Amino acid sequence: MRQVDIVKLDLATGNARKTSDYIAEETPLHLFVNTTFWATILCSPTNLKELAVGHLLSEGVLKSTEEIEAVQLKEDKGTCHVKLKPTVNVEDRIRLSRLHTRVILSACGSDAAYQYAGKTPQATSNLAVKAQVIFDSVNQLNFKAEGFRQTGGLHVAAIYKGDGALIALAEDVGRHNAVDKVIGMAALSQADFAACFLALSGRMSGDVAFKAAKVGLPIVASIAAALTSGVTVAEAANLTLVGFVRGKRMNIYTHMERVSF
């Protein structure tokens, strides 16, 4: 977040006053796998190591955190090098990746999820979560998202256990970045994704559904709507997609058997 000087104008009263306000900050992170440039991610400058790890997991470059030898972040240069163990064939992983662009914008992320030519990842977990737990967990996002309250310009994502215990929470200017951050946080703490679900504030696109299924998260729930791409990927990936979780209501778009009433 950055504090800036602004003028607040009230059209109802015609009053204008000088004041200061917080705005969300966006910065480029240049991500390398070993010495190979992977992508530039436009993101909020927080939890950058977790973002790098979560992004590589959700894009299939990493299969687990056990493959990482070291993560070197240089914030002053805006770079992060993720060094993999010698047993990992980095060239093959990158070649088989779905990523088609080397600049990932905060506004939309990678739009390749529902255009993915490979095998759709499958969420195989039989986790069942009470509808009330999903509602309470998503509802907590508004209270825990301090950056959003200050700026109005951030998305929030969180990973919860099936009983509603919070595992990880992060904010970012990009909804897909927030998802990658909490995936990285949870993976680095050795969380069992099959026993957890993802909650977020943004729209559920094919990109978000793909990332969740790729790491084995069986349920994605959001305050916001689902997009057609999200429903398409979720249906194919055996992923439960729940939207408009608000006002004691929710829409279950796919695989409703994981939500217990």
210-253 pLDDT per residue, tens: 999 999 999 999 999 999 999 999 999 999 999 999 998 999 99
Of residues 153 and 123, the one with the higher pLDDT is 123
Q: How many CB atoms lie within 10 A of CB 219?
A: 26
- Options 43, 80, 108, 196, the catalytic residue: 108
Domain 129-260, CATH:
3.40.140.10
Residue 66 makes CB contacts below 8 A (sequence gap 6+) with none
- pLDDT for residue 172: 95
- pLDDT for residue 8: 85
Q: Residue 58, class by beta-carbon neighbours within 10 Å (0-12 exposed, 13-18 middle, 19+ buried)?
A: buried
80 assigned to active site: no
Contact 55, 74 (CB under 8 A): no
- pLDDT for residue 101: 55
Q: Each residue of 156-213: pLDDT tens digit?
A: 999 999 999 999 999 999 999 999 999 999 999 999 999 999 999 999 999 999 999 9
Q: Each residue of 102-143: pLDDT tens digit?
A: 667 666 555 454 455 567 899 999 999 999 999 999 999 988
Cα distance between residue 23 and residue 4, in whole Å:
7
Domain boundaries, the chain: 27-115, 129-260
Q: Each residue of 28-71: pLDDT tens digit?
A: 999 999 988 999 999 999 999 999 999 999 988 999 999 999 99
Q: For domain 27-115, say whether CATH 3.10.20.10 is its number.
A: yes
Contact 94, 61 (CB under 8 A): yes
Phi, psi of 61 (to 5 degrees): -75, -35
Cα distance between residue 209 and residue 193, in whole Å:
14
- pLDDT for residue 116: 52
- pLDDT for residue 114: 46
Q: Residue 37 has which token pair?
A: 């440039």
Is pTM beyond 0.95? Reply is: no
